[in-house]
Amino acid sequence: MQSSFRGQQWKMLLVTMFCYLFFYTGRHNFGWAAKGMATSLNVSYSYIGWISFSMLLGYAIGQFINGNLADRLSARVMVTAGAYLSVLTNVAVSYSDSITSIMILWALNGYFQSMAWAPGGKLISNWWNEAELGKAFGFYTMAAGLSSVLTYLLSIVLLQQGMEWRMLFFFFLLFLLVAATIFLIIARDKPSDAGFTDLVKKDSTTEKTNWLSRYRVVLSYPHFLLTSLAFGFESMARYGLIFWVPVHYLGKNWKDNPGNLWVTFLLPVGMAAGALSFGMLSDSLFKKNRIHSIRFGMLMSALMALLVYLLPANNLLLAGFLMLSVGFFVYGPQSCFWPLSPEMLGRNYTGTGIGFMNMFGYVFAALGEPLFGFIIDWVGNTNIIFVFISGICLLSVIMISFAKRSWNASIQAVSQSGGVY
């Protein structure tokens, strides 16, 4: 029975990872389409940044709603519905010639994309115990990193084949369509749906609370608010890299030197490796101290981003190493942020907490996109973004340090009162 349950644990984790592996193909494709879109529709990078802003804002609003719904509805249904709707909006963008309609469709796509992460995290939390939750979330976050790898790889291949930007919104989504259908067939929300005993006992008081009450509970933990702010800055830095690094290297006459384009591929490779490594490091080397892991990662990413700006870019070997490193350290800490939701709030608020934290992440990422676009248009050099990304990473370090201090104070206060945190 035990071995059978163990097999089901991995089955649920792997099918959730497989589905999410293809989700980013429906939103990270925009960064690769940006240069061709700007030229074709005759708009500035500032305007392109606002389109990216619309998707991220739609995603942030969706996290606020869908994170809460993940604690009340079927994660299996939510993830599948989000995938199918994202496919439809991407196809609509590929046929659009109006910049306004693209912005509206891309905002809707952001909302539909938001229907996957928190529900998927809730499903994983239902199947894995606390001792292995960091490892499970590390694998889950790695799937998101590998999704970026897949999107970058397919984008490079399509661009080198001479395909126009519209194909980037159509071709990729076939994979997501298939993956979501497989997920719908195989996934189960919790162990009892597959004939096993649930790891998380239902809390009748939690189930009766409305969505506003659930968010009041989340807002009552100041250390979780500070953690969400730290995550916001991490996400701003991460999306600044994901979106603008392709623009940076596509602007260097890549057809004459295609090696520049392949340097960008090492960014998501580093992200995927960091996601898996940091999940394991937080459970082993850092003794489940997620905050120490996050602080270390964000300090290193600040340093690496600054080195990208300072060191010569014409050395492809050095540029590749720095892209790999900055990707590793800026995204790795994400796998340490997610387990903080059940650890700080309790498992019955996992979905709400993940959704709330991810909402902060995408609001900050959304605000960063038009800002980066404006700075590039103003300075006239895409290299300047790495200086700002370095500073943003340092702000994440400051916020997570305050969160640690607040969390320790809360634990001490509860302990002195004779309660259990």
Render pLDDT for 331-374 as a digit per residue (tens, 0 to 9).
Answer: 889 888 888 888 888 777 877 888 788 888 888 988 888 888 88
In a domain, 43, yes or no: yes
* Range of the structural domain that residue 216 is part of: 2-186+211-413
- Three-class DSSP category at 209: coil
Identify the CATH number of the domain in which residue 115 sits.
Answer: 1.20.1250.20
Q: Assess whether pLDDT exceeds 80 at residue 253.
A: no
| Spatial separation of the C-alpha atoms in residues 330 and 300, rounded to whole Å | 8
pLDDT band (50, 70, 90) for residue 219: confident
pLDDT one-digit tens code per residue, 226-246: 999 999 999 999 989 988 887
How far, in Å, CA of 128 to CA of 119, rounded? 14
Q: Is 15 part of any domain? A: yes
Q: What is the distance between the alpha carbons of residues 372 and 362, in angstroms, rounded to a whole number?
A: 15
Q: Is 17 or 206 the better-scoring residue by pLDDT?
A: 17
Nearest CA to 342 among 240, 206, 161?
206
pLDDT by residue (tens digit) across 287-334? 778 888 899 999 999 999 999 898 876 777 888 899 999 999 998 898
Q: 417 phi and psi, to 5 degrees?
A: -85, -5
Crossing angle for the helix pair 133-160 and 222-250, to the nearest 10 degrees: 20
Rounded to the nearest 5°, which phi and psi values hold at 213?
-65, -35
**pTM for the model:** 0.74
Does the pLDDT of residue 131 top 90, yes or no?
Answer: no
Q: What is the pLDDT of residues 23-67, one digit of tens each?
A: 888 887 887 788 788 888 888 877 888 898 899 889 888 877 887
Q: pLDDT value at position 420?
A: 47
User: Is 84 within a domain?
Assistant: yes
Q: At 285, list the tokens.
A: 């080397």
The per-residue pLDDT of the chain, averaged, comes to 84
Q: Each residue of 162-178: pLDDT tens digit? A: 778 888 888 778 889 99
Mutual angle of helices 45-70 and 99-113, in 10-degree steps: 30
* Domain count across the chain: 1
Is the Cα torsion angle 309, 276, 19, 132 positive or negative in sign?
A: negative
Do residues 296 and 338 make contact, with C-beta atoms less than 8 angstroms apart? no
Higher pLDDT, 370 or 86: 86
419 domain residue, yes or no: no
Evaluate whether 389 touches 305 at the Cβ level (below 8 Å): yes
Residue appearing with tokens 């659009």:
96
DSSP state of 6: H
Phi, psi of 211 (to 5 degrees): -65, -35
CA–CA distances in Å: residue 12 to residues 185, 277, 347, 348: 11, 21, 18, 19
Domain-embedded: residue 204: no
Q: Is residue 160 part of a domain?
A: yes
What mean pLDDT do residues 183-205 have? 81
Higher local confidence (pLDDT), 34 or 279: 34
* 277, part of any domain: yes
DSSP 3-state of 114: coil
Q: In this predicted model, which residue has the larger pLDDT, 231 or 413?
A: 231
Please answer whether residues 150 and 17 qualify as being in contact, where contact means their C-beta atoms are separated by less than 8 angstroms: no
Domain membership flag for residue 158: yes
The mean pLDDT of 259-275, rounded to a whole number, is 82
**Residue 81, pLDDT score:** 96
